[in-house]
Chain A
């Protein structure tokens, strides 16, 4: 199906004049320029020595003599930098995996079965998407205390999973709605069970949409600050975004060079995940809930 789409797209493109094509490239590049100026600013600031990071007049690109990797050197030798990175990766990965599992199971059940309370369940899921998450900070904190989840990475993982699962379910359900039911029936004929269908049909056929929500979920868990700051008080448990925030508040003078160096490093895993999953990303979104 994807190949077909690609072909028809190519066919369409063939009719375009070279002039139209080059206009598109030019416009895209111009747009890109605006999009990346702040990013360039960030990377270049991470290469400047601290005292000239924001000196006036501003230089977008540091001169060759000024450019230095000392910020990276400092950050990488911070005693806890790799602990923070490790914690963040653990939290983000676990959240992604758990929410993928939970939401695909929920989506499958809601999409395929009629059971008492199904509509209620679905509307609860939609409602939880509407409430501002920060508003629930205090009741959720009480809950975390009850379950001894304070100062525990599980406290972050479980709550993140609970937050992202509704949206993931919503997206995956839309995708599953479009998977032909004949496949399910064929498996029932062969004596398969609900589990078999989940494993053989849902996980397989819906994998693009699972990949797509995984990108969203990983990113969310990777950069969340408020909750993880509330619940992880110990330095060796902190996640990278919290460490970055504490870092620029802890010092009398904000060491922008260090902050931006840390940020640039922190972007690498997210870019990797996106690049790895981006093929599924588009196709996972292209059918299903997004279509309405």
Chain B
């Protein structure tokens, strides 16, 4: 009898689940279908003039929601769609690694977006996957390229072709917690040595003078460049004498000393360390060399801060070029490619770039960089423009992401004291050479 009741409960449960499921089946296919029929219908009534086939392009990006960039993007897309009847842009947000892994997973089958706005480091990597469109051959590319910063657009050029168009640029500058520096009576550093000394002076009692989010070339590279070192020879043929050269090893050794003295930390060197954003907010970290997003984060955390271009090393002040590029994909149809190119041109126009500047994206459009509204919205723009003049791009070669991974691993081994700096960097050079040869 008891079992009987049990069965009845189970049957009811299963029936309920079945109902839920059939509801799901009814709902899932219906949703996209409804969207597809509604959207073009609305446009046809609005725009009678061009009879072009309606086309929908998928746009993958990682604009930040909390900074209000997604809201601006939605406005921009609405404007673009109004200007270009028949084209629908479907934005898809993915965080950095999901964006990257999504392209890698979709590469073989061609399940890719029509436009992607992603890290400049993606260009050589996706280029090696053979999925990108050579945009240099598109009509009007030269004119558009001339309207953006040449250094920023240099990140799209590989083997003489352009596999993208610069979307936003940035570089890294030194941010410091004004309150902490003032309290310790420390002047804003102007040289690397002063910066490291300040880091030591600001540390202790659970606080760290300096935080570094990762140990890739993106992080250690600027210091090494500024001390006259490099990662590869200028013709990208070898790493020997460069990544394990005197300047590089001495710089890494300095970072290792700082780490051992608890003046430098970061979540990839010490997984137990508090993340850089949370650490800044709680006053644990005093300095970091970072990009424009750091300013936004510090503002929203209510930290009083200042920023200066990267302090000079023994040779120069050479920071690293960052930012994002627009990319187009070989798997799109011709109509989609045409629409995608229109959309990209729209996104690098002065108006669109200024709108994005207001929510923290540094423009590449030369006109937008001088725009008064953009300057007003980004008080640090002049500092960045100064830093950009000497900033260097990382090598745009297909093996780069692997090289960056090797540098990150070996530098981390050296900094955390698993190996001594010379040994670790020698190993890095050997591994990189093997990669360049193969």
One of B13, B21, B109, B281 near A253 (C-beta < 8 A): B281
Query: For chain B residues 209-231, which have a beta carbon within 8 Å of chain A?
Result: none
Q: How many residues of A contact B (CB 8 A)?
A: 46
Tell me whether A253 and B101 are in contact (CB under 8 A): no
Query: For chain B residues 18-58, which have a beta carbon within 8 Å of chain A?
Result: 18, 20-21, 23-24, 27-28, 31-32
A41 sits at the interface (CB 8 A): no
| Contact flag A93-B21 (CB < 8 Å), given A229-B98, A230-B102, A279-B6 | yes
Q: How many residues of B contact A (CB 8 A)?
A: 46
B405 sits at the interface (CB 8 A): no
* C-alpha gap A153/B32 in the complex (Å): 12
* C-alpha gap A55/B24 in the complex (Å): 42
Chain B at the A interface: SS class: helix
Tell me whether A253 and B92 are in contact (CB under 8 A): no
One of A96, A97, A137, A235 near B93 (C-beta < 8 A): A235
What is the distance, in angstroms, from A237's C-beta to the closest C-beta of chain B? 8
Query: For chain A residues 60-116, which have a beta carbon within 8 Å of chain B?
Result: 89-90, 93-94, 96-97, 100
One of B10, B27, B98, B105 near A211 (C-beta < 8 A): B10
Tell me whether B275 and A55 are in contact (CB under 8 A): no
Tell me whether A96 and B94 are in contact (CB under 8 A): no
A141 sits at the interface (CB 8 A): yes
Indicate the member of A152, A153, A252 with the most B CB atoms within 10 Å.
Answer: A252
Query: Which residues on the A side are within 8 Å of B106 (C-beta)?
Result: 141, 145
B7 sits at the interface (CB 8 A): yes
* C-alpha gap A56/B7 in the complex (Å): 53
B161 sits at the interface (CB 8 A): no
Tell me whether B275 and A254 are in contact (CB under 8 A): yes
One of B7, B28, B102 near A233 (C-beta < 8 A): B102
| Contact flag A96-B111 (CB < 8 Å), given A152-B28, A246-B95 | no
What is the distance, in angstroms, from A45's C-beta to the closest C-beta of chain B? 13
Query: For chain B residues 69-105, which have a beta carbon within 8 Å of chain A?
Result: 92-96, 98, 101-102, 105
Query: Which residues on the A side are within 8 Å of B18 (C-beta)?
Result: 97
A150 sits at the interface (CB 8 A): yes
Chain A at the B interface: SS class: helix
Query: Which residues on the A side are within 8 Å of B109 (C-beta)?
Result: 141-142, 145-146
Query: Which residues on the B side are within 8 Å of A141 (C-beta)?
Result: 105-106, 109, 111
One of A94, A207, A230 near B6 (C-beta < 8 A): A207
* C-alpha gap A279/B7 in the complex (Å): 12
Tell me whether A250 and B297 are in contact (CB under 8 A): no
Query: For chain A residues 229-261, which have a beta carbon within 8 Å of chain B?
Result: 229-230, 233-236, 246, 249-254
Tell me whether B65 and A250 are in contact (CB under 8 A): yes
Tell me whether A276 and B6 are in contact (CB under 8 A): no
What is the distance, in angstroms, from A259's C-beta to the closest C-beta of chain B? 13
Indicate the member of A96, A233, A251 with the most B CB atoms within 10 Å.
Answer: A233
* Chain B interfacial positions (CB closer than 8 Å to A): 2, 6-7, 9-10, 13-14, 17-18, 20-21, 23-24, 27-28, 31-32, 60, 64-67, 92-96, 98, 101-102, 105-106, 108-111, 275, 277-278, 281-282, 293, 296-297, 300-301
Task: Give the top 8 A-B pairs by smallest Cβ distance, nearest first.
Answer: A90-B24, A145-B109, A252-B297, A249-B95, A251-B66, A94-B21, A93-B17, A141-B105
